[in-house]
Structures are given as structure tokens and as C-alpha cells.
Amino acid sequence: MLNTNYLAFSNDALHSIPWLSLLIFLPLIGALLTALWPERGDARTNKWGAFALSLAPLGIAILLATQFQGTRVDNGLQQVYEFPERLNWVSVLGVQYFLGLDGISLPLVLLCTIMTPVCILASFNLQFRPRYFLALLLLMETAMLGVFLSLNFFLFFIFWEVSLIPGYYLISVWGRENRRYASFKFFVYTMAGSVGMLLGFEFLYLATSQAGRGTFDIVELTRLAQGLPVQINATAGNFRGDLQTIVYTYFSSLRFTELLGGASAFGMMSGIFWAVFVALAVKLAVWPFHTWLPDAYSEAPTAGSMLISSVLTKMGAYAMLRLMLPLFPAQMQRYASILGFLAFASIIIGAWVAYNQRDADVKRLISYLSINHMGYVMLAIAAAGAAGLANVDSRATAINGAVMQMVAHGLSTGALFFLAGILAERTGSYRLPDFGGLRTLIPVFAGAMGVAMFANLGLPGMAGFVGEFFIFRGTWTTLPLLTIFAMLGLVISALALLLMYQRIFSGPVNERWRGIPDLTLREWGVVLPLLALLIVWGIYPLPLMRIANSTAIALVQFFSHT
């Protein structure tokens, strides 16, 4: 067993229960039970059973949130994780089953466990193989929670790749007309991007093996990136030396540096940095790696669009905060302007293309707005890693804004995709020119869509406003010009959403839709929690921000010690 004294984990009675394992694997058990439900059994009972099973992880997540003490840094400059679980798995490779929770993972765990039961409830009208559909939603929840909680890269990567499987089948089996093309594109893009990340961490493992002991442990790699010691075993001494130098020494022993014309330590580490970045940028759908997203979102079934857009893409941003900021501080500082430009391009291009969808497909419009919103998250991450006059507070503020933006976007986009799905279910169309005047026919639906739309825009009093405010406040110090120009995206995206709302609800009534029903009780059960949380966290964001801030401060302190 590795020495873990420097992790300074808590040891009270609550921590003796493997909460994180329960959180991850309860949805998997639910998926198996749902899929194995007898073919001739009552489908409605199966749906309610899947919904009930999905509430268990939510209950655990809420419990952990109430007991969360806030991330801190110990005397060894090491971030402290809560509710840790560590078991030897493949000892010969240094692979451990290692889980932990901090202030960046917890908000996304809450988002994931909120959205899954909501998506299951949204799928109750599904008639084609509902048990397999619901099982895939639960499997996706397991994979996403595994990504958010894993602290060993080997385990992290397994969950990262498993998340592709349910996403692919949700789109290819239950999607719209172009589902096969969209699912294939989704799978190939994300799988191809992951190859670079896998190779990058394999090089880190081989380099640390040569230095003393190979490790996939994200905590240990973070310590090495800070130049802090890592113990080899109980009897041997420590090995240390910053991670960049360790990587350079390894590549020099293979004569790679000679083949590359005498590349520096920074240059060799930069190659790994870009390999990892591309994989994460594809998942986050940062321009120009975004082209899979509009097809996947628009062709997926309603619940699939909701879960993929609200949680799955956030895995990319989460991994940037978990892996890139602490492991590649020098590269983040050097290349922050490039990352910021890619974020700016995502913001403007996403908003502009969404604006040009105003006479086309409502789901594609929402999809391109997601690219716009994730651009703000990318901008915040770039600012957090940028060199310059920024202090710890401004960088932490940018990270806080990124976390809040991810949560707010997940809730508001989930609501928008659900309401778009209801509209198509009522009318058989997603095309904006087919609508008009629906406000007089379904006023409650129009009100719910209006709240979701304004939340997506970042209206004051909504959670999205808090996220955007903190992002711009944090990025202003390090990337002021990009921040100014990025604000144009707010105007363009607002025009796109307002014109979408006008096309659907204003103007003369389309007589084809007279008599369509307003929101049902079940539909209210889906959309009301999302809208309520957007308002509550918009008015009183302190609990969520306090959770994120403790880890944000710990993250940016890495730059002070490298």
C-alpha cells in the first residue's frame, strides 16, 4: 500500500462508509435491474422503478454536500479530498481504485444526480424498448460520476470511455432521421481525441517509472508537478524533481530530444499538454473541435439531448480543471492566450451560427448556443492558468465562475431541450417556421420556456448570471481584450433566443395547432425542479460558490509553488 499520510484525509464515522462507490455503482445496479425486467412485465412499473433507483444517488449526493467541509491545503501543500476510497487494484502497474471528492467535483456530482432522474421522468412516454433506454441513462450516470470522482488516471480513463457507449446507442437507436450519422460522428470524434490523452498519460507513467516508480495517481502527479516528493514505498526514500524535468529525462534517454532537434524540457512537456488538451477540447466542443455536437444534440432523443448536453460535455471542462491546471502549470501560463482565443472563437461562432438557425431547427439553435456557453467556461479556465498580474483571488474567481456556469448551463439547457421535445411531441415538428402564436394556445408552456430562455441568457436573478459575472470578473485581470470581445457573444446569443421565442409564441396562430394540450403534471415534474434551482441558485448562490471556492483557491496556489 502506498503511503498516503500527506493526503490528510478525515477519519470520522461518516467517512467509514464507501459513499463514493455507492454513488457510482448504484446507477449501474439500477441499469442491470431495469434492462433485465421481463419483456412482458409492466413497462410503467419498470419506468417508476428506474426513477426510484435514480433517486438513491441524488440522496447520497445531497448527504455528502451537507457534510462537505471545504477543500483545504495541508502543510505539505497538498489538496485535501473528502470521503476518500483507496484500494490496490493492479499493483504491478501502480493502478489503484482511488476516489475522492472536492469542491469542483461535488457541484457536478449534484448536477449529474439531479439530471438523471429528471431525464428518466422525461422518458415516460417512450414506447420503443423503454427498459433498455432507461438502462442506458443509468449506465451513463455511472460513467459520468466515475469521471468526476476518480483520482487515478487509469480508473478515470475507463469511466471516460464507458460514457461513449450509452451516448452512442441513445442516439443511434432512439434518435431522429440522421441518427446513425450523428452517433457515428459522436463516437469517432470523442474516441479519436481520447487516444492522445491516453498516450500522454502513458508517457507520464513511463517517465515516472524511470524516475523511481510509475504512477497514474493524479494526486502524486500533481505533487511532482509542484516539485514535491513522492514516496516510493515504505522502506525506500522519496523521489522528487518537477514532473517536466522527469519527462525530459525520460525522452532524453530514448534520444527523442535529439530526433526533435534538441527540444527543451518545456517543449517535450508541451507535446503531452496539447495531446491531452485536444481530447478534452473535443469533449467540451471547443472550436474547431465542435462539429460533432450540433448533430449529436439535435439528432438525439429528448432525454438523450438533455443528459448529454447538461452533464456529458462538462466532463471536458472538469478534466481541464482536474488535470491540466495542476499538471501543466507552465504550459497553461504560456499558452493561455491561445486557449483564450479558441474560447473566444467558440463564443462568437456558437452564438452567430445559433442566430442563423432562427428560421430552421430549434434543437440545432440550442445546440449551437451550448458551444457558445462552453466557450465562456473555456475562457475562464484559460484565464485561471494565464501568467500576468493576476493574483490568487482573480484566478479563483474565474474557476468559481466556470463551475457555476457549468451547473447553470446544465439546468437551463436541459429544460430547453425538454420543452423543445414536448413541442415536437405535440406538433411533430422542430422547425421554427412551423410555429407561431402558441402563447395563446399553451400559455403555461410559453411561460416555462420563457423562464428557461432567460436563465440561459444569464438574466440577473438566475444562476447563469452568477456564472457569467464571476467569469468576466475573473478573466478581466488576465485576458482583458478577449473578455471585452467575448461580451459580444452575450448580445448575439440573446438575439438568437429572443427570435426563437418570437417565432414560436408570437404572431398569428398556426391553425394546425389549435387544441394542443398545455403542460401536464408529469411534464411539470420534469421542468419545475430545473427552473426552481436556476432561480434559487441565482438569488442565493453562496452554498454552491462556497463549495467551489475552497478548491479553486487550492488549485491556483499550485502556480505559486512551481
What is the residue-level pLDDT of the chain in tens, covering all 562 positions? 333 433 444 445 566 788 999 999 999 999 999 888 776 667 788 888 889 999 999 999 999 998 888 655 554 445 668 888 888 888 777 788 999 998 899 999 999 999 999 999 998 888 888 889 999 999 999 999 999 999 999 999 999 999 999 999 999 999 888 889 999 999 998 888 889 899 988 888 888 887 777 788 888 888 887 776 666 554 445 556 677 787 777 777 776 666 665 667 777 888 889 999 999 999 998 999 888 898 899 888 999 999 999 999 999 999 999 998 888 888 888 898 899 999 999 999 999 998 888 778 888 999 999 999 999 999 999 988 886 545 677 888 889 999 999 999 999 999 999 999 998 888 888 888 888 888 888 889 899 999 999 999 888 999 989 999 999 988 888 888 888 999 898 999 999 999 888 888 887 877 787 888 888 899 999 999 999 999 999 999 998 988 888 888 877 776 555 5
Per 3-state DSSP, what percentage of the chain is helix, strand, and coil (rounded to 5)? 70, 5, 25
Integer Cα distance of 153 and 231 in angstroms? 19
Q: Which residues contact 380 (CB under 8 A, 6 or more apart)?
A: 398, 399, 401, 402, 405, 471, 474, 475
Integer Cα distance of 185 and 190 in angstroms? 8
Task: Note whether 81 and 151 are within 8 A (CB).
Answer: yes
Q: What is the dihedral of CA 496, 499, 504, 505, to 10 degrees?
A: 130
Q: CA angle, corner 284, sides to 62 and 7, nearest 5?
A: 50
Residue with cell 491516453: 198
The distance in angstroms from the start CA to the end CA of the chain is: 28
Q: Which residues contact 247 (CB under 8 A, 6 or more apart)?
A: 203, 204, 207, 265, 268, 269, 272
DSSP state of 434: G
Integer Cα distance of 359 and 27 in angstroms? 40
SS (H, E, C) 208-249: HHHHCCCCCEHHHHHHHHCCCCEECCCCCCEECCCHHHHHHH
Task: Note whether 252 and 241 are within 8 A (CB).
Answer: no
Task: Note whether 338 and 327 are within 8 A (CB).
Answer: no
Residue from 357, 339, 231, 247 nearest 294 by CA: 357
Cis peptide before 288 (omega within 30 of 0): yes
320, 420, 451, 508 from 447: Cα distances, Å:
36, 13, 6, 18
Q: Give the orientation angle of helix 43-67 with respect to helix 130-149, to 10 degrees.
A: 10
Task: Note whether 27 and 57 are within 8 A (CB).
Answer: yes
- pTM score, whole prediction: 0.89
| pLDDT given for residue 235 in this prediction | 46
| Biggest distance spanned by C-alpha atoms of the chain | 81
User: Could you tell me whether strands 230-231 and 238-239 are parallel, antiparallel, or unpaired per DSSP bridges?
Assistant: antiparallel
Q: CA angle, corner 228, sides to 336 and 156, nearest 5?
A: 65
81, 100, 177, 220, 278 from 7: Cα distances, Å:
7, 11, 51, 10, 30
Integer Cα distance of 108 and 115 in angstroms? 10
Task: Note whether 412 and 455 are within 8 A (CB).
Answer: yes
Q: Which residues contact 453 (CB under 8 A, 6 or more apart)?
A: 416, 497, 498, 500, 501
Task: Note whether 24 and 118 are within 8 A (CB).
Answer: no
Q: Which residues pair with 85 in a beta bridge?
A: 99
DSSP state of 8: -
Q: Is 483 exposed, middle or buried (0-12, 13-18, 19+ CB in 10 A)?
A: buried
Q: CA angle, corner 99, sides to 377 and 90, nearest 5?
A: 120
Please name the amino acid found at residue 7: L
Integer Cα distance of 156 and 225 in angstroms? 19
The three grid cell numbers given for residue 560, joined into one nine-digit string:
505559486
Integer Cα distance of 348 and 451 in angstroms? 24
Task: Note whether 406 and 314 are within 8 A (CB).
Answer: yes
